Amino acid sequence: MKKISLLLISAVFLLVIACKAETIPRIISLAPNATEILYSLGLGSSIIGVDDFSNYPEEAKNIERLGTFNNPNIEKIILLKPEYLLVNSGLGKAKEEYLNSLGIKIIKVSPKTIEGLYVDIRKLGIIFNKEQNAENIIQDMQFRIERVSQTRRGVTPKVFVQLFDDPLVTVSSFISDIIRLAGGENIASDIKDEAGIFSYEALIDRNPDIILVVGFSGNTSNSNTINAIKNKKIYRDLDPDLILRPGPRAAETIEMLNKIFYE
Of 4 and 94, which has the nearer Cβ to another protein? 94
User: Residue 202 CB, nearest distance to another protein (Å)?
Assistant: 17
The site for another protein (CB under 8 A) is made up of: 67, 70-71, 73-76, 78-79, 81, 89-90, 92-95, 97-98, 101-102, 193-195
Q: Give 31 or 250: the residue with its C-beta nearer to another protein.
A: 31
Give me the least distance between CB of 78 and another protein, in Å please. Answer: 5
Q: Closer CB to another protein, residue 42 or residue 92?
A: 92
CB of 94 to another protein, least distance (A): 6
Which of these, 157, 160, 192, lies nearest to 174 by C-alpha position?
192
Helix, strand or coil, per DSSP, at residue 90: coil
Choice between 75 and 237, CB closer to another protein: 75
* Residue 248 to residues 118, 135, 142, Cα–Cα distance (Å): 9, 12, 11
Burial of residue 56 (CB within 10 Å: 0-12, 13-18, 19+) is buried
Of 108, 83, 56, give the one whose Cα is nearest residue 245: 56
Query: Which candidate, 4, 220, 43, places its Cα nearest to that of 131?
Result: 43
CA distances from residue 239 to 22, 186, 214, 249 in whole angstroms, order as listed: 38, 18, 7, 12
Nearer to another protein, 91 or 148 (CB): 91
> How far apart are CB 241 and another protein at their closest, in Å?
17
Q: How far is the CB of 76 from another protein (least distance, A)?
A: 6
Distances (CA, A) of 182 to 151, 253, 254: 10, 8, 5
Cβ proximity to another protein, 35 vs 110, nearer residue: 110
CB of residue 80 to another protein, shortest distance in Å: 8
**Main-chain phi, psi angles of 160, to 5 degrees:** -120, 130
